[in-house]
Structure 1
Amino acid sequence: MDVLNFRALEQSDVKSLQRLFMESLSELIRRERFEDADLLDEEVARLNTTIQDHFDDDTVHLYVVEEDGTIVGAGALLPPNEIISGHLELERDAIELGSVYVTPDMQRQGVGQYVLSEMRREMLAQKRHVFYLDAGFPSAQTYWQKRLGAPTLVLEHYWGPGAPHMIWRIDLKDMK
């Protein structure tokens, strides 16, 4: 892996980021063997809304990670989504760490850890000390449990029998 560059999303990045989201989600849905035909379209539409919000809403900040000029990862800081805000009492000025994706050919090479590290640095620069994160895909849940520990809340059977949704509340001073 060459040198990684973390920066805010620029308008010229949109098509590359949309491609990263599509590739990552397609691979994730295939690997997880989800049968919901609309899931990919719904997730891509949600992420495209986040992209647009980055340019239109000063509470949404989307970042990309580049390697040799190619976008290989992304993450966002934004107001907590409805699943989080509907199930936890949030601190004032709460923030969610979301839209964390790494292109499939760069997964398991430290890019996700780099995104998390840079997002932590960005939150501290914004004087944020607590963030929320949620995950519904089983592999994402496993990843975040390894990185962040046990979730704060597990919504059992949220997506159907045996399909929980997990929410974390993380204080940055407790992060490794």
Structure 2
Amino acid sequence: MDDKITIEPLTQTDADAACQVFETTIPAAFEQEGIGSLLDDIQHEIAHKRALIHTALQPDHNKEANVFFLVAKMGKSIVGTISYGPCGEEIRECTDQRLNDIGELGSLYVLPEVQGQGIGSALILALGTELQRLGIQQFCLDSGYRIAQQKWQRKFGEPYVVAKNYWGEGTDHMVWLCKVQDFIVKVK
């Protein structure tokens, strides 16, 4: 397999392979968090990501929805995804609707066998560059995964909101509000 990483906008041809990334990485992330037994939640998350891809690929999808995906390819194989779109329900709930008009960075998934090779950072940087090109000045991101929360805290400091025990005892949900320009500088 070619080790060169390219970041490209999602196309219809990429849809099934991008969904395969979700079907591999989401159960792995749940397992890594010690919640791999939450099969309904895993399937719900995969279905939600599939629906986002479907929305993003609709040629006439509501431009106000502003949903788009980028994919990371190693050779011709898709190994990671990232998306931008309206903030999700968890962000709305956790922030008492304060960030409803702010778009969300989401769907950042990299296949387990290629994690730690800078693919996630390359996806983030490419998305930040695209947001900057579009004139978007800030975005939010959230995570209920403790491992991801630790990474975001190292990069961006304390979250905008911490919803204590959101997913059950000892499992918080965190939301960050980021300026695109600051984000690009921190990722580089």
TM-score by length of 1: 0.93
* Paired amino acid for 2:13: S
- CA apart distance, 1:28: 1.2
* Paired amino acid for 1:100: L
Question: Which one of the candidate residues 22, 37, 40 is aligned to 2:39?
Answer: 37
Moved over 4 A (4+): none
Aligned to 1:165: 173
Unpaired segments of 5 or more residues in structure 1? none
2:84 is equivalent to residue 73 of structure 1: no
Q: Deviations over 1:45-85 (max 9, x none)?
A: 11011111102333110110111111111100101112223
Q: Deviations over 1:103-122 (max 9, x none)?
A: 11111111111111111101
Pairwise CA RMSD: 1.6
- CA apart distance, 1:147: 2.5
CA distance in 2 between counterparts of 1:25 and 1:129 reads: 29
Question: Which one of the candidate residues 30, 46, 49 is aligned to 1:47?
Answer: 49
CA distance in 1 between counterparts of 2:136 and 2:100 reads: 11
2:112 is equivalent to residue 111 of structure 1: no
* Paired amino acid for 1:9: L
Q: Deviations over 1:28-57 (max 9, x none)?
A: 122222121212111101101111110233
Aligned residues: 175
Aligned to 1:18: 19
CA distance in 1 between counterparts of 2:168 and 2:160 reads: 20
Unpaired segments of 5 or more residues in structure 2? none
- CA apart distance, 1:146: 2.2
Question: Which one of the candidate residues 120, 133, 139 is aligned to 1:125?
Answer: 133
Aligned to 2:182: 174
| Contact 2:72-2:123 within 8 A present in 1 as well | yes
Q: Deviations over 1:140-173 (max 9, x none)?
A: 2122222222211100011111110000000123
- CA apart distance, 1:91: 7.4
Worse-matched range after superposition: 33-42 or 46-55: 33-42
- Secondary structure of 2:26 counterpart: helix
